[in-house]
Amino acid sequence: MTDLQGAVVLVVGATGGLGTRLARHLAAAGATVISSGRLSPSSDVILADLRERGAAASVVKQAAAIHGRLDGLVIAAGVVAFGPLEELRDDTLRELFDVNALAPMQLIRSATPHLAASAAAGREPFIVTLSGIVAESPTAGLAAYSASKSALNAFTKAATRELRRSSIRLLDARPGHTQTPLSRHPIAGTAPAFPPGLDPEAVAARIVTAIVTGERDLPSAAFA
pLDDT recorded at residue 135 = 98
pLDDT recorded at residue 44 = 87
pLDDT recorded at residue 147 = 98
Contact 19, 11 (CB under 8 A): yes
CATH no., domain 8-218: 3.40.50.720
Q: Give the closest residue to 170 by CA, choosing from 83, 72, 64, 96.
A: 72
**Run of H or E including 74:** strand 72-75
Pairing state between β 8-12 and 72-75? parallel
pLDDT recorded at residue 206 = 98
Note if the pTM is more than 0.95: yes
pLDDT at 60 over 80: yes
